[in-house]
Structure 1
Amino acid sequence: MSSEITNEYVHALDRQFVFHSWSIQSTLNPLVIAGGQGCTLWDYNGNQYLDFSSQLVNTNIGHQHPKVIAAIQEQAGSLVTVAPATANLMRGEAAKRILSHAPSTFSKVFFTNAGADANENAMRMARQFTGRDKILSAYRSYHGSTGSAIAATGDLRRVPNEFARGHVHFFNPYLYRTEFHATTEEEECERALQHLRRVIECEGANSIAAILLESVPGTAGILVPPKGYMEGVRALASEFGMLLILDEVMAGFGRTGRWLAMDNFDVVPDLICFAKGVNSGYVPAGGVMISQPIAEFYENRFFPGGLTYSGHPLAMAAIVATLDVMAEEGIVDNARMIGQEFLGPGLKALAAKHPLIGEARGVGLFWALEMVSDRVKKTPLAAPVMAQMKAAFQARGLLTFIVENRIHVVPPCIVNPAQVAQALAIFDEVIGEFSSKHAA
């Protein structure tokens, strides 16, 4: 290919031939990206961007980490692909490393291609193991866009995709927009658990296979559960003989300043779904961590599921290298420290300063700014204004992850204090400008 590639050529190529997800195709104007390193991306014209989206909240070790790239290249030189029924060194090493961060009751890993099919297979296992059919999941959730995963998802994207059976939703805690008329985290927790108990009773406990829950709901708004909630959900699942599946796809592997987001709570689930940060998305991969009782269940029973690329060698090599790099370079500790000392305090200071910010909430490097036009009424900032704000951030060299009326502040877990300060200054400038025009 010619070395004279331009933004205009790549943009035209995309618009002529590429069909994009979750989009009205005629309205698209995709940003052109040519390369990246660490927390920085750039285009063919030399414009640079500080990535505070981690793309889709997955590049936890940043872009183009040399050790992970080298591991992928080395694996490509020896074995590019192999069927999942074989034994492969990298697959075994990846599973071993993943399980080292799980509770001691976990013993096996089933590998998938991404987070959606991880959740699909976890639900499949739960239904077989319990002999029950229904799956309970939260309205404020996202579990993927495949058949059962999108039906389990709570947001409205599930509605045109509700082809799978047996899915029931409940309200999880969200004090800022409480469904339970709560005024404190304690009230929100207690009433949310009582609500879940009533849903279980009304649906028939003996018909429910599992509760599927994001440890920290991400796309739904980075809703850190109140103290005691996760433990309460675990207790309800155990009381009624259901499994607890924790979806760690977005929140896992360093994002919350812990190896797994569930490590922030005193809870041990039965199945754990993962993807994204496990290898920073360098090669697509996901999977299900399986606790010992469920693993033993399948010792003498047929598991009716499989994927051509389950445990793909390139993806496995990326997992092994990523988890080793995260341990060697203290990346999880960095995420916790930067979140506690720089990003969290900085975002809370912005919320105190700008009337467009209704709430700043989060943990580790997993934060959201909830944007409102009226703080008293908590009126969500209109979608066109959010789109204009996203464009203003981008024009100043900051890439953001915006969902509805929320700015999700989710930089790579290698981010440093200077980069946080740079991003906070841009947030301050842009939100200040928009506050003068749109705040009540």
Structure 2
Amino acid sequence: MTDLDPADGVRALELDRAHVFHSWSAQGSLTPFVIAGAQGTEVWDFDGTRYLDFSSQLVNTNIGHGHPAVVEAIQRQAAVLPTVAPAHANLTRGEAAARILALAGSDFGKVFFTNGGADANENAIRLARLTTGRDKVLSTYRSYHGNTGAAIVSTGDWRRVPNEYARGHVHFFGPFAYRSEFWSDSPEQESERALHHLERVVQAEGPASIAAILLETVPGTAGVLVPPPGYLAGVRAIADRYGILLVLDEVMAGFGRTGDWFAWKNRDLNPEGIVPDLFTFAKGVNSGYVPAGGVVISESIAHEFDERVFPGGLTYSGHPLAMASIVATIDAMRDEGIIENAARIGRDLLAPGLARLAERHPIIGDVRGLGVFWALDLVTDRESREPVSPSVVGALKAGLLERGLLPFTADNRLHVVPPCTVSDAEVERALEIYDEAFSALS
């Protein structure tokens, strides 16, 4: 931590409030948290106060803050070739694509690089429509796919409603056993009924009009909704039955978050081993050190464009600084056992630790997740499962900050999403802070 001047913190806030327009916010009432620096699992302000970052910013700093190998790779690339047009070949871009495809497996042949998750989903939708000659895209109400034209309309939550300018989008209810839309009384029944609902939507919309089913493998912002047994395999079967492509959004769930390289590769989520036709990534591929995302394209879809022009492109597709950070991130994750650490932390520490919290605090109605991807559903009482008010979540957030933890909250939930590099001691410290903050609420 370098020399810090509290006056710089005041200046940062003044400049922000005078000039910066924030996303998803009414501008007049904002008082954003000012971050001066970060390293590993911690961030700090200009007063030198340190906080455990159990938000991973926007659930994307999977390798932690300031990983030296990734920082060095960006610096080294900047000194050699800081930018290049996407039409040219570049060694670093090729290395990044090769590493991603090696992780994805032999079913996949190419990577189309984008600037982030939203335009990754945008281009996955474009590929599906062009390949099938169909228009409609089906996605769930409990989802977030990004804030570009088709991606935001694929999104199911409230952010879609003021932005519905794109065509051909249909929504359905995915499984969520704790707040079931299907009156189910077990995860297996939830899966069966959700699949029946999806197939009926497909039939009612006209299968020959549907290009793709787009799913977050594990819906993240919607509440870390781990799919119940058989659901992913059932969706794959429905897609195959009607000639529909399956697109999995791995923007938040990928690159270690669930304790595997990709959530769809995680055998706890996908024991049948189903494979999507396309999947998207961003966030954890390089922890957001440089904006990057992409679409991983199956061999069969990639070959559709051997003689046919793909009508899409981005000036910064495969930007060399982003590519260097991807190569370094994947290498470091493999060499340092970071994926394995995320799986162990979830299994041995977070799962039992969050369960103990729920035993102590009746406000916690449900605990769900895996790896370093968890959510606590907060309720007024466990019998009714009525969500707590925004004021309660606000008080909890303030209490966590006071105790030195930067949280991620959404609606009536507290998401527990530290970097994949988090240590045992940091998890234990965080669990103590959560316990104290929940106790203070009551």
- TM-score normalised over the length of structure 1: 0.98
- Counterpart of 1:14 in 2: which secondary structure? helix
Matches of 2:148 and 2:197 in 1, distance apart? 28
Match of 1:156 among 152, 158, 166: 158
C-alpha displacement of 1:87: 0.2
Matches within 5 A, 1:111-126: 111-126=113-128
1:90, 1:317 within 8 Å by CA — same for their partners in 2?
yes
Q: Amino acid of the residue matched to residue 380 of structure 1? A: P
Aligned to 2:319: 312
Matching residue within 405, 429, 433 for 1:422: 429
Give the one of 403, 409, 412 matched to 1:405.
412
Residue by residue over 1:290-343, the C-alpha shift from the partner in whole angstroms, topping out at 9 and shown as x without a partner, is 000000000011101000000000000000000000000000000000100001
Q: Which moved more, 1:409-418 or 1:384-393?
A: 384-393
Counterpart residue number, 1:200: 202
| Residue aligning to 2:180 | 178
> Partners in 2 of 1:401 and 1:141 — Cα distance?
17
CA contact (8 A) 2:4 2:48 kept: no
Question: Counterpart of 1:101 in 2: which secondary structure?
Answer: helix
Structure 1 position 130 matched with structure 2 position 132: yes
Matched, 1:378 2:385: yes
* Counterpart residue number, 2:42: 40
Q: Does 1:269 align with 2:276?
A: yes
Q: Which runs of 5+ in 1 are unaligned?
A: none
SS in 2 for 1:345: helix
Which residue of 1 is the match for residue 232 of structure 2?
Answer: 230
Q: Which runs of 5+ in 2 are unaligned?
A: none
Runs of 4+ in structure 1 over 3 Å off: 2-5
1:165-192: CA deviation from partner (whole Å, max 9, x where unpaired): 0000010000000000000011000000
Equivalent position SS for 1:375: coil
Task: Give the 3-state SS of the residue equivalent to 1:109 in structure 2.
Answer: strand
> What RMSD over aligned residues (CA atoms) do the two structures have, in Å?
0.9
* 1:104 alignment partner AA: S
Cα distance in 2 for residues equivalent to 1:351 and 1:424: 11
Residue 297 (structure 1) aligned with residue 304 (structure 2): yes
Partner of 1:16: 18
CA distance, structure 2, for counterparts of residue 398 and residue 267 of structure 1: 38
- Name the residue aligned to 1:80: 82
Letter in structure 2 aligned against 1:228? G
Q: CA deviation at 1:3?
A: 7.2
Contact 2:4–2:47 under 8 Å retained in 1? no
1:345 maps onto 2:373 in alignment: no
Cα shift at 1:6: 2.4
- The amino acid across from 1:326 in the alignment is M
Show CA shifts across 1:386-422 (max 9, x none).
Answer: 1121111111110111000011100000001110010
Deviations 1:87-128 (A, max 9, x none): 001100000000111131101000000000000000000000
Superposed displacement of residue 27, structure 1: 1.0
C-alpha distance in 1 between matches for 2:135 and 2:310:
16
- Separation (CA, whole Å) in 1 of partners of 2:332 and 2:4: 33
Mapped to 2, the partners of 1:359 and 1:3 lie a distance apart of 41
Matched residue of 2:430: which SS? Answer: helix
| One-letter amino acid of the structure 1 residue matched with residue 144 of structure 2 | Y
Report the alpha carbon displacement of residue 33 of structure 1 after superposing the two structures with TM: 0.5
Cα distance in 1 for residues equivalent to 2:4 and 2:370: 43
The residue aligned with 1:324 is 331
Q: Distance in 1 between matches of 2:105 and 2:362?
A: 43
CA positional deviation for 1:147: 0.6
The alpha carbon displacement at 1:374 in A equals 1.6
Quick one: distance in 1 between partners of 2:234 and 2:416?
29
How far apart, CA to CA, are the structure 1 residues paired with 2:439 and 2:263?
Answer: 32
Supply the AA of the counterpart residue of 1:261: A
Q: Is the 8 A contact 1:103 1:268 kept in 2?
A: no
- SS class of match (2:380): strand
Aligned to 1:240: 242
TM-score of the pair, normalised by structure 2: 0.97
> Which amino acid in structure 2 is aligned with residue 393 of structure 1?
L
What percentage of aligned pairs have identical amino acids?
63
Q: Using the alignment, how far apart are the partners of 2:68 and 2:81 within structure 1?
A: 20
**Which whole-Å deviations, capped at 9, do the CAs of 1:210-229 have from their partners, x for residues lacking one?**
00001100000000001110
The answer on 1:60 being equivalent to 2:62 is yes
**Hey, what's the Cα distance between the residues in 2 that align with 1:358 and 1:432?**
15
Given that 2:4 and 2:46 are in contact with CA atoms closer than 8 Å, whether structure 1 keeps it comes out as no
State whether residues 357 and 371 of structure 1, in contact with CA within 8 Å, keep that contact through their aligned partners in structure 2: yes
**Superposed displacement of residue 23, structure 1:** 0.4
Counterparts of 2:168 and 2:255, CA distance in 1: 30
Deviations 1:202-256 (A, max 9, x none): 0000000000001100000000001110000001001100000000000000000
Shift, 1:9, TM fit = 1.2
How many angstroms apart in 1 are the aligned matches of 2:393 and 2:385? 15
Corresponding letter in the other structure for 1:35: G
Map of 2:258 onto structure 1: 256
Secondary structure of the 1:209 match is strand
In structure 2, which of residues 138, 141, 147 is the aligned counterpart of residue 139 of structure 1?
141
Number of the residue aligned with 1:280: 287
Using the TM superposition, give the Cα deviation of residue 427 of structure 1 relative to its aligned residue in structure 2, in angstroms.
Answer: 0.5
Match of 1:109 in 2: 111
Equivalent residues, number: 434
Alpha-carbon distance, 1:140 to partner:
0.6
For 2:375, what is the secondary structure of its paired residue? strand
* Cα shift readout 1:17-47 (whole Å, capped 9, x = no counterpart): 1110000111101111111110000111111
What displacement does 1:433 show? 2.0
**96-105 vs 68-77, greater mean Cα deviation:** 96-105
